[in-house]
Amino acid sequence: MAKPRAYVMVSVDADTVVIGAREVKTRLAAEIGTCGLGEEIRVLETGSFGPSDAGIVAAVMPEGLVYGNLTPERIPQLVEEHFVKGRPVSAWLLAGEHILPDPETTDSRGQQYFGRIVLDNCGRIDPDSIEEYIANDGYFALGKALTEMTPEAVVEEVKDSGLRGRGGAGFPTGLKWSFCASEKADMKYVICNADEGEPGTFKDRLIMEGDPHKVIEGMALCGYALGATQGYVYIRGEYKLSIERIRNAIEAARENGLLGKDIMGSGFDFDIAVKIGAGAYVCGEETALIESMEGKRGLPRVKPPFPAKAGFRGKPTNVNNVETLANIPFIIRNGAAQFHGIGDPGTPGTKVYTVLGHINRAGLIEVPTSVTLRDVLEDYAGGMRSGSFKMAQLGGTAGDLLDASMLDVPLNYDSLAKNGHSLGSGAILFMNETIKVCDFLHACMKFFAHESCGNCNPCRNGMAALLELTARLKKGEGYPGDIALMEELVMGMQSIAFCPLGQSPAAPVLSAVRYFRDELHAGINVDAVRPRPEHTMRHLMKLAS
């Protein structure tokens, strides 16, 4: 078969699938075939291109032209004009800025962008093609590790890179690996946490959809470093396309001897299986995830023992986020130093976010950890779509609410921590003045109340109380003292709940009180009096006497 002269890459991710991306792709291929161009022009699926408001998009390579808002009906004309007559249909072309900035571009503060680490292949290669991944340096890092590095050296390299977990807590990845690596056991497991339950967060999904092999390679490297022979990708059930692409990638890697027995003749055995998640938010917590993998109700475990000691099936287990693992091939390929040189030294590298809200372009971005919220808003999200910036929630429902005073703080753990905030899991929700803080908080509490597993008392009853307290504020029926009570409650839950989910409402509640106290206060009816449970009182007095 002749080498194609061009590729059309249709961005098929879980969002565009539902609006017909697959139909567009099929129609494109059919139309190109009808015109007798099937040999010359290949139609491929790819992952997300990045923030977009342009419906179904497709890129024509190598020209790098991108069409947006495609429908099956538009295809015949497109093929006729662009491929037969050689005249791009300018009306449907998207402006260059819709594709991620190339390394030469600078941001609004004159800072230079850099190449992407995690998303470098997303939207550029066919995720179902291992050949394309390999052609783009794929599995180079695995080969390097297996032939040139000891497992200890891989752990050291990751430690030196300064990579911190991208699953929310920001725990240093190399350190985490070293715990599991030092355990002696006949079996160890590597788990990729692809449960991604935070509402509005779908970066892991887009990574898996756009470049599944990167995750597989990261897991294999992790397995080698830790002395584990089996990996699992725990994917939430709704992520049908991710499941499909990860499965294909595993299959292809096996066929190419990159998974399975004696990988690349090194004597290292490693295989990966997919486990489908149970669907609850708390299943993303690593011990609940392990319980769920063992076929039990997905409830968090009592720690210790920590998974590194006794995790899946009681064996040493390392759980990492999808994005964390997707950073590993770069680090091993290019060395810790290069990685460490990117972004903020305290949180080296990049961070992948899904950006959402009242902005012009919503979607997936990867930015160095030195950029600020303002950079993200103005350079990547295209500014506010309507109204003006009021607040942003950083890191999903369990994240902090920030007001305009925080726009210029760089988005990394240390800079945020200095301001009493944390980075969270990788979602940024921008909101304008139409959103009322009370309503927003109530919506967050609804999510938590819904997701509380109900196992432990403080979270189960605490979430119910928060739901009621915020509902009262929302209706302007709060009792005097409710705000202080809410603060006391979330802080209490932070130190008494069984698992981090019960500790989560603290972030949105405390930050909301910090920046929007007056607005919350407006939800209080100053004349109302909280009823005291007097019969309880009387009885306690009787008992005490």
Partner 1 sequence: MAIKLKIDRQDVEVPEGTTVLDAAAEAGVHIPTLCHVPKVTSPGSCRVCLVEIEGARTLQPACVTPVTEGMIVRTHSKRARQGRQMSVELLLANHPWDCNACVRNGQCELQTLAQTMGITDVRFPYTREEVPVDTSTAAVVRDMNKCILCRRCVAVCQDVQGVGSLAPRARGFDTVIGAGAGENLCDAVCVQCGQCAAICPVGAIYEQDAIEDVWRALDDPEKHVVVQTAPAIRAALGECFGLEPGTCVTGKMVAALRRLGFAKVFDTNFTADLTIIEEGHELLTRLKTALVDKGEVSLPMFTSCSPGWINFMEYFYPGLLPNLSSCKSPQQMFGALAKTYYAEKEGIDPKNIVVVSVMPCTAKKFEADREEMVDSGFKDVDYVLTTRELGRMIQEAGIDFMKLPDEEQDSPMGMSTGAADIFANTGGVMEAALRTVYEVVTGRELPMEKLHVAPIQGLDGLKEVALTFEKCQPDWSFLEGVTAKVAVAHGLSNARKVCDMVADGEGGYHFVEVMCCPGGCIGGGGQPRMTTDEVRQSRIKAIYTEDEGRTMRKSHENPAVTQIYAEFLGEPLGHKSHELLHTHYHAKEPV
Q: Which of 460, 480, 514, 519 binds ligand SF4 (CB under 6 A)?
A: 460
| Minimum distance, C-beta of residue 289 to ligand SF4, in the bound complex (Å) | 13
Q: Are 257 and 296 in contact (CB under 8 A)?
A: no
Which residue, among 371, 380, 320, 374, has the nearest Cα to 350 in the 3D structure? Answer: 371
DSSP 284: G
| Minimum distance, C-beta of residue 543 to ligand FMN, in the bound complex (Å) | 38
529 binds partner 1 (CB under 8 A): no
253 binds ligand SF4 (CB under 6 A): no
| CB nearer ligand FMN, residue 193 or residue 422 | 193
Distance CA 96, CA 164 (A): 32
1 binds partner 1 (CB under 8 A): no
Distance CA 273, CA 70 (A): 36
Residue 281 binds what, of partner 1, ligand SF4, ligand FMN, none (CB under 5 to 8 Å, by partner type)? ligand FMN
Q: Please choose, out of 166-174, 190-198, 231-239, 492-500, the segment that lies near partner 1 by the rule CB under 8 A.
A: 492-500
| CB nearer partner 1, residue 175 or residue 537 | 537
Q: How many residues bind partner 1 (CB under 8 A)?
A: 43
282 binds ligand SF4 (CB under 6 A): yes
HSE toward the beta carbon, residue 197, CA cutoff 13 A: 24
441 binds partner 1 (CB under 8 A): no
Residue 526 binds what, of partner 1, ligand SF4, ligand FMN, none (CB under 5 to 8 Å, by partner type)? none
Q: Which of 453, 473, 509, 524 binds partner 1 (CB under 8 A)?
A: 453
Helices and strands (H and E) in the chain: how many: 21, 16
| CB nearer ligand FMN, residue 230 or residue 324 | 324
Q: Are 231 and 215 in contact (CB under 8 A)?
A: no
Q: How many Å separate Cα 303 from the centre of its chain?
A: 25
Residue 302 binds what, of partner 1, ligand SF4, ligand FMN, none (CB under 5 to 8 Å, by partner type)? partner 1
Residue 485 binds what, of ligand SF4, partner 1, ligand FMN, none (CB under 5 to 8 Å, by partner type)? partner 1
Touching partner 1, residues 288-317 (CB under 8 A): 302, 304
Contacts for 290 with CB less than 8 Å, ≥ 6 apart: 191, 301, 307, 311, 312, 317, 319
| Minimum distance, C-beta of residue 218 to ligand FMN, in the bound complex (Å) | 10
118 binds partner 1 (CB under 8 A): no
Question: Helices 212-226 & 322-334, crossing angle to 10 degrees?
Answer: 70
For 129, 359, 366, 395, 442, the CA distances from 382, given in Å and listed in that order, are: 32, 7, 15, 20, 29
| CB nearer ligand FMN, residue 321 or residue 372 | 321
Q: Which residues pair with 274 in a beta bridge?
A: 233
| CB nearer ligand FMN, residue 83 or residue 202 | 202
Which residue, among 229, 260, 88, has the nearest Cα to 151 in the 3D structure? Answer: 229
CB atoms within 10 A of CB 91: 8
Q: Please choose, out of 81-89, 362-370, 483-491, 505-513, the segment that lies near partner 1 by the rule CB under 8 A.
A: 483-491
| Minimum distance, C-beta of residue 471 to ligand FMN, in the bound complex (Å) | 23
Q: Which residue has the tokens 């599991």?
A: 180
| Minimum distance, C-beta of residue 276 to partner 1, in the bound complex (Å) | 19
Q: Taking CB under 6 A as the rule, which mask of x and - marks residues 204-243 in contact with ligand SF4?
A: ----------------------------------------
Distance CA 285, CA 282 (A): 5
Distance CA 204, CA 322 (A): 6
507 binds ligand SF4 (CB under 6 A): no
Distance CA 405, CA 402 (A): 8
Q: Which residues bind ligand FMN (CB under 6 A)?
A: 165-169, 171, 176, 193, 195-197, 281-282, 284-286, 319-321, 324, 499-501
Question: Helices 437-451 & 457-474, crossing angle to 10 degrees?
Answer: 150
| Minimum distance, C-beta of residue 285 to ligand SF4, in the bound complex (Å) | 7
Longest dimension (CA), the chain: 96
| Minimum distance, C-beta of residue 542 to partner 1, in the bound complex (Å) | 9
Output 514-517 pairs: Cβ under 8 A, ≥24 positions apart.
514/420, 515/391, 515/401, 515/402, 515/403, 515/405, 516/391, 516/401, 516/403, 516/437, 517/483
For 106, 371, 374, 490, the CA distances from 378, given in Å and listed in that order, are: 13, 11, 6, 33
Distance CA 354, CA 345 (A): 23
Residue 196 binds what, of ligand FMN, partner 1, ligand SF4, none (CB under 5 to 8 Å, by partner type)? ligand FMN
Touching partner 1, residues 262-281 (CB under 8 A): 280
| Minimum distance, C-beta of residue 501 to ligand FMN, in the bound complex (Å) | 4
Q: Taking CB under 8 A as the rule, which mask of x and - marks residues 200-239 in contact with partner 1?
A: ----------------------------------------
What are the residues binding ligand SF4 (CB under 6 A)? 282, 300, 452-456, 459-460, 497-499, 501-502
What are the residues binding partner 1 (CB under 8 A)? 280, 302, 304, 449-458, 460-465, 467-469, 485, 488-489, 492-498, 503, 530, 532-533, 535-537, 539-540, 543-544
